[in-house]
Chains A and B, each alone.
Chain A
Amino acid sequence: MSEPILELRGINKSFGAVHVLHDVDFTVRAGEVTALVGDNGAGKSTLVKCIAGIHPTDSGEVLFDGRQVSIHGPKDAADLGIEVVYQDLALCDNLDIVQNMFLGRERGKAGVLDEADMEQAARRTLASLSVRTVKSVRTPVAALSGGQRQTVAIAKAVLWDSKVVLLDEPTAALGVAQTRQVLDLVRRLAEQGLGVVLISHNMNDVFEVADRIACLYLGRMAAELPTKDVSHSQVVELITAGRSGDLGIARPDMAAV
């Protein structure tokens, strides 16, 4: 088992009176895919946005590579090597693949873009992920299929020597063949030594690619287990009830509040 690359301890987050995350602990290991599951409103997206620096946390600590770090904005997270592939707001349709992959971190001197350099890097990254479905890196993203878009979004995330990649429902709107492509890609990221977090509602996807499963229930971490130690139905129970047998939250009366 590899070392934790990212560790969250006792994270709390409220939006006004709504306490969304309660003392959440969460660990991401390099070279592994950790699935983050939970019902709608369990706090998955909020947790990801806290890690990404979009939402500031109220309390708790974040360790990256064993060091304590503070993440105050998307830039801090990116500087650490944490990349997020968002479900809905991943790409700008009106820009091409290269522009999207380098968005916010364009290469060039004095603000003038170095297009050739960026095109090459984009091609190299896509090739390293064995992506062959994209014809030209100058294709506008609007002209790509759902699977291709997700591929580009993921490639964008690994372009940056990133260490941790968080994927928010990368297969949500995809067909069977495209889901296959994306799951292969997710596996390949872990094989390259990245810490991968996969948010998904799809149990088949989770059991197929994840090494560990972390289950949020009403803003609490109900369980964090190796995939081989749990069954489909146990995970479903953890998601819907917060506990399953001796797994999960011990006091359901507390959790039900």
Chain B
Amino acid sequence: MAEAVAVGADRESLGGRLRDIGFWADWAAVIGLVALVIVFGLASPSFLTLGNIQAMLVSAAILIVLAVGQTFVIATSGIDLSIASIMTFGAVVLGLLYAAGWPILLACLVGVVAAGLAGVINGTLVAKGRIPDFVVTLGMFSAASGAALILSDGKPTQVVDGFLLALASGSVGPFGYFIVVAAVVVVVAHVALFHTRFGVHVLATGGNAEGARAMGIRTGRVRLAVYLISGVLAGVGAILLVSRVGAAEPAINTTYLLNAIAAVVLGGVSLQGGRGNILGPVVGALLLTALTNGLTLLGISQYYQPLAVGVVVVMAALLMRYQR
């Protein structure tokens, strides 16, 4: 008993010494976001206007939805490199079905289902085929963008529809529908990860897959489920993307992929798995959006944006090492 107390006391004082840096690491994304808002707010008068904040939130919505999907996969110690390609694929399916005269809601639904199926293929190969996540989703990254190019013959499809226009431009109070969609996804994901049996199994799979299996958790099913979630959310992202652009383009959205992973890392989710968190990646996504938006407002060439994103992500990762 005495030993246990001594161990506790030792940890306390160690914690005290690390408190400063540990605090910064835990709150890295939030602090970064606040710092960016202050800097850009001072540098550019239009940054903190209501209109610009709304615009930032809307443009962050797709990234938030993707980052949430990515978080589930990363929490199981996997990674979904195909998330943005699957979004492209879903968008093209949606666009082609709409162009073929399908009702828009049905086209959207099938787009999401198609994206979900791509996720199921990822999950099955990872869980049953025992191929590393990185390899499977790298393959899907290529395959899904290829499928999008083949289906669309490389050409964008116009999607001009009342429903999608309303989705892109309408709002509830000051919050555009995009923000509402993202918020719903975030709340549902948070509840699923922290207040359900499934969420605990996701974290257990990421933390100690062998142990989880010994406790009777079907880790294969958990992995399949997280890739399904990632795929479906990529499908939701596809609806938002088509609605925003007004067309389904077979373009490879690499920026979305990298930013989705970056947002998760910024949010303090360990790439080794087992550590999940939904709000962190959301703040990470907001930070990345604010960064690009602020740089644009300051008239800095967009060529500098990827550089800035890269620097921020690596700095955040350095800071994460001190996470408690």
Interface residues, chain A, with chain B CB atoms under 8 Å away: 52, 54, 73-75, 78, 84, 86, 89-95, 99, 102-106, 108, 111-113, 115, 132-133, 135, 143, 145, 147-148, 175, 177-178
Contacts and interface: CB of A to CB of B under 8 A. Distances in A.
5 contacts: A54-B214, A90-B211, A91-B208, A92-B212, A106-B197
A133 B196 contact: no
Given A84-B214, A94-B203, A104-B215, A177 B197 contact: no
Given A91-B211, A92-B203, A99-B204, 6 more contacts: A54-B214, A89-B210, A93-B207, A94-B275, A111-B198, A112-B196
Interface in B1-52: 1-4, 7-8, 11
Interface residues of B, number: 29
B200 A147 contact: no
Given A93-B208, A145-B3, A73 B216 contact: yes
Nearest to B5: A133
A59 to B, nearest CB: 24
Nearest to B217: A104
Contacts of A175: 3
A132 B195 contact: no
B235 interface: no
Contacts, number: 86
A148 B216 CA distance: 23
B280 interface: no
Question: Chain B's interface: helix, strand, loop or mixed, by majority?
Answer: helix
Contacts of A145: 3-4, 7
Contacts of A112: 191, 195-197
A143 B211 contact: no
A78 B214 contact: no
B206 interface: yes
Contacts of B11: 143
Nearest to A90: B211
B268 interface: no
B220 to A, nearest CB: 13
Contacts of A89: 208, 210-211, 214
Contacts of A133: 1, 4
B195 A103 contact: no
B188 to A, nearest CB: 12
A86 B212 contact: no
A177 B211 contact: no
Nearest to A177: B3
Contacts of A113: 195-197, 200
A235 to B, nearest CB: 29
